[in-house]
Structure 1
């Protein structure tokens, strides 16, 4: 496992230099380690969820459609993708959602069973991209991609601190 120690400057913008992703934060040193070896393209994770009342399409407590919402689909897509990353994080690292694209193709009612499968399609030292398919007993109801970045926990804590000022 390779590690790098970087002198960092004032912004929180990633900078790709000579293949090493550097995260800059307030002039301090931050440890940047790679994701553990073993995460590979084609690796997949499955998850099954029963659609509950709280997962339906609603705004301000008003149910719009009594079917599995797009917001719930995104949540479950991120969750199944994150499960691929968790075993490969170092103790001082954390994954953070960076992008989600989703196509909600068909409805699924309360009480139906949803199956999600996330498959690694790109992996690098600091990023994981998965494609996710969502199905029920009638076929595909959704698909999309989830991108996660791996950051030192202290960088995430600083991002949260700045965001909550």
Structure 2
């Protein structure tokens, strides 16, 4: 069974072992990763997060920490969802189950995220000022308030993934 993403249908972001983080581009340079000076680094704060997704302060904004496991993660704009690879035989098997899972998910970890505009998904150990083309994904979110909700989904006995969906609030 494949544990990590294969190149193919979408761009996956990998972690070196810690959580992934989604930081607004407007405050990206404020995320210091594991390089923070002080008693607790941004990476330490991200590692302390429990659950599938939690918000952390980054300057005047908030970052979304994708917790639980350091799973390969992609953003699917057609569903406004981060999908996190837990287990699947192939990328196609995993992605093929997302649509039905969104309709049937047992959503939890609901919270409201004020987003000032585009965000960047990357390994929380990296400083935001050092993201490079091959270690992150930019998501062009419109500025606004979003309900963040998370769920663990199984599309069959061999395929499991986490969903972190962003729903615009009016």
Tell me if TM exceeds 0.5.
Answer: no
Q: Give the structure with the higher percent strand.
A: 1
Provide the TM-score with structure 2 as the length reference. 0.25
Provide the TM-score with structure 1 as the length reference. 0.25
**RCO comparison, higher one (Cα < 8 Å, 6+):** 2
Larger radius of gyration: 1
